[in-house]
Amino acid sequence: MLDAVVAVIVVLLVGTGLLVMLGPRNVARRIASLRRPNKIAALFEPRRPREVVPPALNPKTQRVLVAAARLANWLRTHGHEEVAREIRNAAARMTGNEPAGLYALQTTLRRIRVVNVSDSPSQERLKALVSELRTAVQDRFEQLELLPFRRS
């Protein structure tokens, strides 16, 4: 009789040791695969990751970003990579620190005056895109009441 009790205890200890070595996740999966009721099935399924939604941007900020993207794409396609990169960097800075990004866009807009394009339709398109971005930046400056603001 004593031998049977010792054998049962040894079997239980060995089984518990194996369960500990396998880990709780593996054990839970194996138990779930043996018999999975419909109502508790969600407990054993991994959770879906949440979608992180960026905070909604102010419409005038969105307008600045769209205008900056248009101008940067136009400049890049016409061979002005450096200025386009500066505009993209300034626009990207707006998502973290909007005033710093606006000031960076303003200083970059001053540099665009130096950019000359050979044909007149392209020059007119450049002027239109620059004025669109300048207007959007000025509107956002006024809305945020960032002073001092110099019109250029």
pLDDT in tens, 14-72: 988 887 777 767 766 776 666 655 556 556 666 666 665 556 778 888 899 999 999 99
**Cβ distance 145 to 102 under 8 Å?**
no
93 lies in some domain:
yes
Domain count, the chain: 2
Both 70 and 35 in a single domain? no
Both 27 and 63 in a single domain? no
Closest C-alpha among 112, 68, 72 to residue 91: 68
Both 92 and 64 in a single domain? yes
Containing domain of residue 26, as a range?
2-44
Q: Work out the pLDDT band at 6, boundaries 50, 70, 90.
A: very high
69 lies in some domain:
yes
HSE value, Cβ hemisphere, 13 Å, CA-based, for 87: 27
Both 70 and 6 in a single domain? no
149 lies in some domain:
no
Find the DSSP H helices in the chain: 2-22, 24-34, 41-44, 59-77, 81-96, 98-112, 120-144
The predicted-structure confidence for 101-131, as pLDDT tens digits, reads as follows 888 888 888 877 656 667 778 888 888 888 9
Both 29 and 65 in a single domain? no
Q: Is the pLDDT of residue 10 over 90?
A: yes
Both 27 and 77 in a single domain? no
Both 76 and 131 in a single domain? yes
51 lies in some domain:
no
52 lies in some domain:
no
The predicted-structure confidence for 75-98, as pLDDT tens digits, reads as follows 898 888 888 999 999 988 988 888
